[in-house]
Homo-oligomer: A and B are copies of this chain.
């Protein structure tokens, strides 16, 4: 997976800091996660082909996570987009978008689908042969979901030389890759494990923003390849977390450690701090494999 940070600062867009938006590229998809004001400009700067984005996931209805969505949809329309677009987000997102399109007497030139969310338990939002997308219920001042993107295990890998040596007919190769045993040309049953290897372990990504420290999400995100977790504050402002329903860098690291994730990526920094290094330092006391998100930074995992 390739994750491009389009914006990772909290609260308000500033001269050089974008509010939250991310692009997640998987084998078959390009997902947009959150869409703060100015996201369409950040997409242009990242030279992304707009038509490739077919699904947008909105975590919650605070402005720094969705004020850019109506502008993006309007731009899609002005560009004559034809591909369908699916919006996943809290109840209310449809009313906000459609009201603005209606008052502007605009009709979209492409099919626009809203999938409004209200469940407080994890649910599957999208699934195909390559990936499953699930909600991660979070605890913030308004109804909020994180999102879990989990690629499916691929086919088993076939040792063709060995399969030939064992006189297996080529028409059985597909069955072998799917994990089945087969009978060879001489009538002998060949165990699948004799001619195949397990596939690469599937990659997964969990996006968790915004949220107060919530250990209850740990089972859901157990062992993900990468976790993006909000870290609005440093520990000196821990007392603000409960009131504002945000986390510190150290709390994000505690979640990463408990869930045994591959890599922790921090973001959603409060703009009150000068520089980001303290976020990394504080988190690494608990979870060493921590990296800092920053606008236009790219992560591969």
- Residues of A8-26 at the interface with B, using a CB-CB cut-off of 8 Å, are 11-15
Binary B-proximity of A64-84 (CB < 8 A = 1, otherwise 0): 000110110011001100000
Per the 8 Å Cβ criterion, residues 156-215 of A in contact with B are none
Contact between A11 and B63 (Cβ–Cβ < 8 Å)?
Answer: no
Cβ of A13: which chain B residues have Cβ within 8 Å of it? Answer: 38, 40-41, 71, 75
Which residues of B sit under 8 angstroms from A78, Cβ to Cβ?
A: 11-12
A43 (CB) vs chain B CBs: closest residue: B15
User: Once the chains bind, are A63 and B71 in contact (CB under 8 Å)?
Assistant: yes
CB atoms of A12 and B74 under 8 A apart: yes
Q: Say yes or no: is A238 at the interface (Cβ < 8 Å to chain B).
A: no
CB neighbours (8 Å) of A90 from chain B are: 103
Instruction: Please tell me if A54 contacts chain B, counting CB pairs below 8 Å.
Output: no
Residues in B with CB closer than 8 Å to A99 are 92, 95-96, 99
- Count of identical protomers in the assembly: 2
Which of B37, B92, B104 contacts A142 (CB under 8 A)?
B104
Task: Give the nearest-CB partner of A12 in chain B.
Answer: B75
| Cβ A104 vs Cβ B15 within 8 A | no
Beta-carbon contact of A70 and B74 below 8 Å:
no
Closest beta carbon of chain B to A15's beta carbon, Å? 5
A105 touches B141 (CB 8 A): yes
Closest A-B pairs by Cβ, 10 of them: A92-B103, A12-B75, A63-B74, A37-B71, A61-B103, A67-B71, A15-B44, A61-B104, A105-B142, A62-B104
Since A15-B45, A37-B38 are in contact, a sample of 19 more A-B pairs with Cβ atoms closer than 8 Å, ordered by chain A residue number, is: A11-B78, A12-B71, A12-B75, A12-B79, A14-B44, A15-B41, A37-B37, A37-B68, A37-B71, A38-B41, A62-B104, A63-B100, A67-B67, A67-B74, A67-B100, A95-B99, A96-B99, A103-B142, A104-B142
